[in-house]
Structure 1
Amino acid sequence: MEFALGKLFAAVTSPGNLLLLLMLVGLITVLARRRSGMVILAAGLFPLLIIAVTPVSTWALLPLEERFSKPDLTMISPVDGIIVLGGALMPIASREHGAPQLTRDAERLTVLPGLMRRFPQARVVFTGGSGDPRYPDDREAAFVLALLADWGVDTARITLEDSSRNTWENAVNSAPLLKTGEHWLLVTSASHMPRAMGVFRSVMPDVHITAFPVAYNANRTEADRFGLNLTDNLDRFDNAAHEWRGLIAYRLAGRIPTVLPSP
């Protein structure tokens, strides 16, 4: 129930959906009360214009993506294991097309062959089930081994955890696979890393976790660039809003110690 309500809340509060609903209410109100309707309509259009023209989406993402730096792997030894969080594949599209379909977060998987070669003794855990309550049987982990086998990866080293639906469950369900005192790399998208690190540290405080962020979606070059690009900017802003919303929700639920966990 909590998972389904969380998904519903996320859909309603997604910036694009929220502004669209606001403008729709304003348009309907215009028919009855022109002045009030225009105010509501403007309240939806103005933020949309700000997102389209300014780099506010980049500003919202950078504090998340820069929170944890990518480590110097030559300075890390030993590495007992690598945890990869789901989000790199589209389970429903993969099932329909009969082949793994990658998302914009595909780097969560594409870095794995290189990491496995660098740390040949490391165990690998891929944790990712179904993130869509409407399709609980379409699980990302089901397609991972086939894809990695095509890339020449030794899939015998990989343990699949396919029941997790969110970041909290990623950590809780992976915990029994990790041992006290071990050193693990945690691979996930840079914007998602603060929440992921906060959760994994809370769930398994006796395991040493090192962040390995990937799939960056913002950069400082564009932090002062203005223009007109609603499609990309809204996508980035929605990504940032999703992560900030998740951080606040997890802090209120007591799952992470602070709103923005530190390195």
Structure 2
Amino acid sequence: MFFLLSKLLYFLLSPLTWCVIAILIYFLSKTPLIRRWAKIIAIVIFLIFSNTYLYNLTERYWQINPIPLHQHVEAGIVLGGLISFNQQHQGFFNGAAERYTAALQLYEAGYIKKIIVSGGSGLLLDTTDKEAIFLRQQFLNAAVPDNAILVEDHSRNTYENALFTKKLIEQNKLQPPFVLITSAEHMRRALAVFHQAGISVIPYPVNYNVLPHGKNNWYDFIIPNLCNFYKWQDLWKEMIGYAVYHITHKL
């Protein structure tokens, strides 16, 4: 049920959804006052959430800045969310592919001895394709030995990532700390979940949506960018998920 609700919530978190709802109210309502406020709300939503400067400012605050790894640990944990499958069940790396390349680099450099891949299917209905299975094969193709790869392919979200990874760690008697490898935007929430599960991890954020300490161009302030609507949707998901997680674990 929680997984289903999270999918619904993700749709409702989109500023584009809010804007469309306001526009529909404007056209469908016959009350002048309601139409006026719906028009104002739609314009305000569009101006705020299409503005690249405001998005970049918020994203830089939320993202975890790069953290160099200065110690050698027993294992690195790669979280799913970097693979997409087509209708023929063929896997392809998506925009979060740096999670894979970062883990491979850390392994080849000797910073991690094993790679734990955590991720099943994030789809609501078709759960045939498992990210962890696909990633295991990609690591094998990159000459990582089979005994250096541990697979957890049942998790559907970050909470289950931590829950099932902990069982895998205990079964293989691995010693902490572990390197947690995920996107910079996702790292803050992932850290909270893994720490709550009792797993000692060192954050290794990758895949930055906005460059840390980067600069804005002049057009970021004035030219609307519709792509920002989708970026805000992902950012809201992380922020609200982080807040809800902390609230529910303090009750």
TM-score, normalised to structure 2, is 0.88
Alignment check: 8 A CA contact 1:116 1:122 kept:
yes
2:58 to 55, 60, 76: 60
Match of 2:149 in 1: 158
CA distance in 2, matches of 1:157, 1:151: 12
Counterparts of 1:14-25 in structure 2, within 5 Å, are 14-25=14-25
Distance in 1 (CA, whole Å) between partners of 2:243 and 2:96 is 22
Q: Structure 1: which 5+ residue stretches go unaligned? A: 258-263
Which residue of structure 1 lines up, in the alignment, with residue 203 of structure 2? 211
Q: Distance in 2 between matches of 1:173 and 1:234?
A: 33
Structure 2: distance between partners of 1:231 and 1:202: 36
Aligned counterpart for 2:238 among listed residues 229, 236, 243 = 243
Give RMSD over aligned pairs. 2.2
C-alpha distance in 2 between matches for 1:25 and 1:155: 57
Residue 90 of structure 1 aligns to a residue whose secondary structure is strand
How many positions carry a matched residue from both structures?
244
Structure 1 match to 2:27: 27
Partner of 1:45: 43
Task: Work out which of the residue numbers 54, 76, 80 in structure 2 matches 1:86.
Answer: 80
Percent identity over paired residues: 26
Describe the shift of the 1:18–1:235 C-alpha distance in structure 2 as closer, same or farther (beyond 3 A).
same
User: For residue 234 of structure 1, what is the aligned residue in structure 2?
Assistant: 229
Map of 2:126 onto structure 1 = 135
Instruction: Identify unmatched segments of 5+ residues in structure 2.
Output: none
CA distance in 1, matches of 2:2, 2:247: 14
Q: Structure 1 pair 60/119, CA: closer, same or farther in 2 (3 Å)? A: same
Partner of 1:106: 97
Does the alignment pair 1:182 with 2:180? no
State whether residues 24 and 41 of structure 1, in contact with CA within 8 Å, keep that contact through their aligned partners in structure 2: no
Q: Which amino acid aligns with 1:24?
A: L
1:70 aligns with 2:73: no
- 2:122 equivalent to 1:122: no
- How does the TM-score come out when normalised to structure 1? 0.84
Between the aligned partners of 1:168 and 1:223, the Cα distance in structure 2 is: 38
TM superposition shift of 1:143: 1.6
CA distance, structure 1, for counterparts of residue 129 and residue 244 of structure 2: 26
Q: Please say if 1:172 is aligned against 2:163.
A: yes
- Amino acid in structure 2 at the alignment position of 1:215: N
Task: Select between 222-231 and 185-194 the one with higher mean Cα deviation.
Answer: 222-231
Cα deviation, 1:6-60, whole Å, max 9, x if unaligned, reads 211221222222222222222211xx22342132132022221222235111122
Using the alignment, how far apart are the partners of 2:174 and 2:133 within structure 1? 28
